[in-house]
Amino acid sequence: MENIRGIVPRKIKGFRDIDPNLNQIKWNIINAASKVYKLYGFEHWDTPVIEYADNLGKYLPDTDTIEEGVYSFRNPEKEPVLKSDGKELRDEWDRVIMENHFLSLRYDLTAPLARHYAEKLWMNSLKGNLTTKNAPLFRRYQFGQVYRYETKLDPGRFREFWQLDFDSVGTGNVAADAEVCMVLSDAMEAIGLKRNTYIVKVNNRKLLKGLLQNVGIDTEEQEQAVLRIIDKTDKIGIEGLMEELGKGRTDVSGAFIEGLNLENNKINSIISFLKEFRETEKRDIIIERLYKYLHSSVIGKEGVDELSKINDVLNQLKFAEDRVIFEPTLVRGMSYYTGPVFEVESKQTYIDTKGNERRVGSICGGGRFDDLVERLIGIKVPATGASIGVDRLAELLVLTKQVETEITGPVFIVVFDDKLMPEYQKIAGELRANDIETEIYYGSQKGLKKQLSYADKRNSPFAIIIGEDEIKKGVATVKDLRLGKQQTDIHDREEWKAKVQTEVHRNNLVHHIKNNL
């Protein structure tokens, strides 16, 4: 079949090119947040984009199988099969058994973090020298692309996107969880979100575990099923939630969604909890109420204790309810979270192309994942952290008009006369020496109009036009392209032209551009 098709230049579905405007917003986010991460003592590490599939495991947010959702392929290189002690597997003739292992494009930055940490301690763990108590502290931040092979791709979602993570591995200290809230809040504000336009939400999985145990739901499987439904409350409402916990419901498309068929009293207990904690309240009051609700559950009480300690640290550093709130109904998708969970929600809305007001919603997520390293080295190593969705946040800034969405291009030097190239080069050199971005036109379309239209597309602030006339007079014609764009109502053509187009003395050219930028 291959030879029938000519080569059609195209991107893979769900992938995109990033333009200079979006890149500027994206790298501002990455640089601003990275600075905050460093301020709290996190180090910048990187890991490869591809990893052994078995190392990443199956911790995808929306699915439990590695086959779905992940780009995986066979390694072209044959390698020895390793036994669980890291030694090579051999056949009866003592030959090393070789295999093409599966490789995967990373689907997040947390699984590679667990691999990195586990790899460093692997020999120690084999020797039995590693314990939860002496597991070293490792605090890193990382940014980079991650990949999801989603078969149903919603509009505006991509299969390649950027995350910006920070994590502390080797700490069970709740103060580290409190720190996650502070880092997230500081990072949002460093990125440029105004106070009260976003909120950091905190919950603890242990609360929900306690609640469900009290209700009589105690298998891991049923618990996860109930949590997945609670996680959808914002979308399906309390009504839909009741139906999905019970006999099921028919969604807008007419499809029937199977319910969990829980008994009514169980459903009612869950609903009453959700209703009680639906409204935002002071953290102190929520803690008080949670203690009343969960006093009979050991795990539930542990969860409230942890929230209470987080509250102490937040109060100490004056992170009030305008920055961080407790939301006992918050779940967060990831099944690997074991304690506190975090989410940053944007409170802002925007008007979509159909004129509807829409919420931006969740822009960061995180939580405590005490089991992730254990999978690889058999020792529980507590860890906590969070991740900023760079693309989602960039989109938010654009949609809510909080950033300049068109960056300024270079000062543009028109090539009016090829013989004058040395003069153009000299001017460009002078401007660049003054840190002014400058481009000389090297394209094939020589007309003045075509050149200016190119400069306009680049969003250049000024065009410098020099021909023989200007050379003789010792001047340059400087066209203000920004002004040229603005002017719509032209009363006096001459007056307008005089404003847009100025004759500047050659010796004063750099100075003029510099002062008017």
Which of positions 79-118 make contact with its own copies (CB under 8 A)? 79, 81-86, 89, 97, 99, 103, 105, 114-116, 118
Are 288 and 308 contacting, i.e. CB atoms less than 8 angstroms apart?
A: no
Q: How far is the CB of 494 from its own copies (least distance, A)?
A: 32
CA distance 212 to 145: 37
Are 328 and 290 contacting, i.e. CB atoms less than 8 angstroms apart?
A: yes
**Contacts with its own copies in 24-63 (CB under 8 A)?**
24, 27, 38-41, 43-52, 54-55, 57
Q: What residue type is assigned to position 264 of the chain?
A: N
CA distance 207 to 294: 8
- Report in angstroms the alpha-carbon separations of 69 from 149, 150, 388: 4, 5, 20
CB nearer its own copies, residue 121 or residue 286: 121
CB nearer its own copies, residue 34 or residue 204: 34
**Contacts with its own copies in 164-183 (CB under 8 A)?**
168, 170-173, 175-176, 179
Q: Is 242 in the site for its own copies (CB under 8 A)?
A: no
Window contacting its own copies (CB under 8 A); options: 144-152, 192-200, 223-231, 498-506: 144-152
**Contacts with its own copies in 429-448 (CB under 8 A)?**
429, 432, 435-445
**Contacts with its own copies in 343-382 (CB under 8 A)?**
375-377
CB nearer its own copies, residue 85 or residue 94: 85
Burial of residue 177 (CB within 10 Å: 0-12, 13-18, 19+) is buried
Neighbouring residues of 352: CB distance < 8 A, sequence distance ≥ 6: 358
**Contacts with its own copies in 189-228 (CB under 8 A)?**
none
CB nearer its own copies, residue 149 or residue 496: 149
Q: How far is the CB of 291 from its own copies (least distance, A)?
A: 22
Backbone φ, ψ for residue 358 (5° rounding): -130, 145
CA distance 183 to 196: 16
Structure tokens at 16: 């995109």
What is the distance in angstroms between the CA of the first residue and the CA of the last residue of the chain?
56
CA distance 517 to 512: 9
Shortest CA distance to 55 belongs to which of 77, 76, 75?
75
**Contacts with its own copies in 292-321 (CB under 8 A)?**
312-313, 316-317
Number of residues binding to its own copies, judged by CB under 8 A: 112
Q: How far is the CB of 194 from its own copies (least distance, A)?
A: 19
CB nearer its own copies, residue 432 or residue 473: 432
CB nearer its own copies, residue 212 or residue 397: 397
Neighbouring residues of 100: CB distance < 8 A, sequence distance ≥ 6: 74, 75, 76, 77, 78, 79
CB nearer its own copies, residue 293 or residue 441: 441
CB nearer its own copies, residue 50 or residue 398: 50
Q: Is 15 in the site for its own copies (CB under 8 A)?
A: yes
Window contacting its own copies (CB under 8 A); options: 133-141, 217-225, 288-296, 346-354: 133-141
**Contacts with its own copies in 453-512 (CB under 8 A)?**
454, 458
